């Protein structure tokens, strides 16, 4: 049986580590390569880097970060943020990333998912989606709406429908990021995560709201997630990966305990 994965999310701006809180304030807290290396040694299962660099002039800095991570971190990692074309995706894969993560660009141009999936294989393509709870409408029957541009632009698109469409287009995995839960550390959005996990047959990674070990337990059991994304609870050293895994292991969740 596959182990449930703990994935650390590292937001990178101009080559430096940052953690967004409700996507409004960001505070740089160090070197992404050093952080990646430390988490790798501490037993992390997978990494995701989001490039939140504003200027496209500085995109090449990210390729350098990817390449340096790939030379010293030997677990899978994906890279997202600002990938608009198959060529953009190819660059980060060539630099050593295992997977690419597409979000806004995929909503604006769904064929990007199909093209990247065809070029690199479905297992390389992660569709990340930012979701906000809204009043259900005929267009958004689930009451979960897709938003883009870092949470600023609602799209009138139902999150459950978009998840299914993403799978049909060839995404190999989904990251479900709850804008409402992100940064609260009050727990993952269980209903959203479970609804999508039950609607698709590809792995689902829960994101946003993880603040305590039991939050991970809840989303990996009740939330039907295959993996949990964590950020601030690791970055601010509130818990170690060992502590998170011990908690899950003791409560009967299969996680990787040897490294």
Partner 1 sequence: MNEIFIIDYKAGNLTSVKRALDYLEIRNKFVSSGDELHGAERIIFPGVGHAATAMAVLKERGFDVALREAFEQGTPIMGICLGAQIVLSHSDEGDTACLDLIEGNCLRFEPEDKSLKIPHMGWNAVAVTQPHPILKDLKPGDEFYFVHSYYPLPSDTSNIYATCEYESTFPAAIGYENLFATQFHPEKSGRIGLNLLHNFARWDGTV
Q: How far is the CB of 10 from partner 1 (least distance, A)?
A: 18
Q: How far is the CB of 108 from partner 1 (least distance, A)?
A: 27
- For partner 1, which is the closer residue by CB, 79 or 133? 79
- Dihedral of CA 203/45/207/79: which sign? negative
Q: 45, 130, 158, 182: which is the annotated catalytic residue?
A: 130
**In this structure, what DSSP letter does residue 249 have?**
H
Q: How far is the CB of 258 from partner 1 (least distance, A)?
A: 5
- 130 counts as catalytic: yes
Q: 11, 88, 158, 182: which is the annotated catalytic residue?
A: 11
The site for partner 1 (CB under 8 A) is made up of: 1-3, 5, 40, 45, 70-72, 74-76, 93-94, 96, 98, 121-123, 172-173, 201-203, 226-227, 256-259
Q: How far is the CB of 180 from partner 1 (least distance, A)?
A: 27
CB atoms within 10 A of CB 238: 12
Q: Please, which contacts does 62-69 make with residues 24 or more away whose CB atoms are closer than 8 Å?
A: 62/12, 62/15, 62/92, 63/91, 63/92, 63/95, 64/15, 65/12, 65/15, 65/32, 65/33, 66/92, 66/95, 66/96, 66/97, 67/95, 67/96, 68/33, 69/32, 69/33, 69/36, 69/37, 69/96
- 168 counts as catalytic: no
- For partner 1, which is the closer residue by CB, 212 or 224? 224
- For partner 1, which is the closer residue by CB, 21 or 63? 63
The CA distance from 153 to 131, in Å, is: 11
- For partner 1, which is the closer residue by CB, 55 or 258? 258
Q: Pairing between strand 144-148 and 77-80?
A: unpaired
The residues that are catalytic are 11, 130
């Amino acid at each position: 049986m596959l182990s449930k994965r703990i994935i650390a999310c590292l937001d990178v701006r101009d080559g430096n580590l940052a953690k967004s809180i409700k996507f409004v304030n960001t505070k740089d807290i160090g070197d992404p390569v050093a952080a990646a290396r430390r988490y790798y040694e501490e037993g992390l299962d997978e990494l995701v880097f989001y490039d939140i660099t504003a200027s496209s002039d500085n995109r090449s800095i990210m390729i350098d970060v990817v390449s340096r991570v790939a030379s010293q971190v030997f677990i899978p990692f994906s890279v997202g943020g600002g990938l608009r074309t198959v060529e953009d995706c190819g660059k980060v894969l060539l630099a050593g990333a295992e997977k690419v993560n597409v979000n806004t660009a995929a909503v604006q141009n769904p064929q990007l998912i199909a093209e990247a999936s065809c070029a690199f294989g479905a297992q390389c393509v992660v569709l990340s989606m930012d979701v906000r709870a809204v009043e259900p409408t005929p267009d958004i029957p689930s009451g979960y709406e897709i938003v883009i541009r870092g949470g600023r632009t609602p799209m009138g698109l139902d999150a459950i429908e978009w998840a299914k469409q993403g799978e049909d287009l060839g995404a190999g995995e989904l990251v479900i990021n709850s804008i409402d839960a992100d940064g609260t550390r009050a727990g993952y959005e269980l209903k959203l995560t479970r609804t999508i996990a039950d609607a698709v047959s590809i792995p689902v990674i829960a994101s946003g709201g993880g603040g305590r070990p039991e939050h991970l337990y809840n989303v990996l059991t009740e939330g039907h997630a295959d993996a949990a994304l964590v950020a601030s609870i690791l970055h601010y050293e509130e818990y170690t990966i060992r502590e998170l895994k011990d908690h899950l292991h003791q409560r009967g969740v299969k996680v990787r305990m040897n490294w």
